[in-house]
Amino acid sequence: MFLVTAGITEADALAGKWSHALTTIFLMNYEAPNMGQYIIQKGYLGQFVQRGQLLSVEVMGWNQALTQVYGKVTRPECSRQFCDALCTLNIATYTVTGTLTTATSQTEFRDSSRTEANDAFGNGSIRFTSGNNNGYTFHIDAYDNSTKKFTLRTPMPYMPVIGDTYSAVIGCRKRHTEDCVTRFSNAVNFDGFPWMPTQEELSRLPVVQ
């Protein structure tokens, strides 16, 4: 009843369209709405989880934000979003369009016309521009040049069909040498720390010869 009344469809919920939506839970007298509301909780929706035929979601309180990590976190991979203002690359240069020629499952499909190198779309994104998945965007987990197969990180809400069109952005796995230097010649904007020693290396006991 909640999903129907609020206009939230199962496909939209599982695709993440309603995650982090502001939420208010309240009690009211449905026979006398003018009596007002008794607010129980305010917050935002977490991640929807499917359990059989039911969808469940946790309402996260405002204090949940206090548990998040803020500030600079060092890691070997680049922290920038591919083609954002700090990366500086032009996303239009790395965007392609195509049409599905094989639909295997909700996470795998093929486009036989693709000519990009192996793993060119790995860690990239794809947005469908027609079909039941029109308007949905997904992360690409892997791309196999030999079979022209795309593998998504999460399943689409609807089964794709041959002829569905899409717009895909080339992927970047955020590595210094393999990606920023070799593939994109953008090392000057790399924001990772591949040479910083790890906690394990810093706390390692000296080796006695």
157 within a domain of the structure (yes/no) = yes
Q: What percent of the chain has pLDDT over 90?
A: 57
119 within a domain of the structure (yes/no) = yes
Q: Lowest-pLDDT range, 122-126, 187-191, 194-198?
A: 194-198
pLDDT value for 1: 43
Average pLDDT over residues 27-38: 89
Number of compact structural domains in the chain = 2
Task: Based on the fold, state whether residues 57 and 101 are members of the same structural domain.
Answer: no
21 within a domain of the structure (yes/no) = yes
Q: How confident is the model at residue 77 (pLDDT cuts 50, 70, 90)?
A: very high
Task: Based on the fold, state whether residues 61 and 95 are members of the same structural domain.
Answer: no
Alpha-carbon torsion angle 17, 18, 22, 25, nearest 10: 170
Burial class (CB within 10 angstroms; exposed 0-12, middle 13-18, buried 19+) of 57: middle
208 within a domain of the structure (yes/no) = no
pLDDT value for 2: 55
Full residue range of the structural domain in which residue 21 is found: 2-67
Task: Based on the fold, state whether residues 63 and 96 are members of the same structural domain.
Answer: no
Task: Based on the fold, state whether residues 162 and 117 are members of the same structural domain.
Answer: yes
Strands (E), the chain: 22-27, 38-45, 49-51, 54-56, 59-61, 95-99, 102-103, 108-110, 125-128, 137-144, 149-152, 165-169
Residue 40 above 70 pLDDT? Answer: yes
> What does the alpha-carbon distance between residue 159 and residue 102 come to, in Å, rounded to a whole number?
12
Residue 93 above 70 pLDDT? Answer: yes
More reliable by pLDDT, 74 or 192: 192
Q: What is the pTM of this model?
A: 0.67
203 within a domain of the structure (yes/no) = no
Task: Based on the fold, state whether residues 98 and 162 are members of the same structural domain.
Answer: yes
pLDDT value for 136: 94
DSSP 8-class letter at 180: I
126-137: pLDDT as tens digits: 999 999 999 999
Task: Based on the fold, state whether residues 110 and 173 are members of the same structural domain.
Answer: yes
Task: Based on the fold, state whether residues 58 and 108 are members of the same structural domain.
Answer: no
Task: Based on the fold, state whether residues 116 and 51 are members of the same structural domain.
Answer: no
At 119, list the tokens. 């793993």
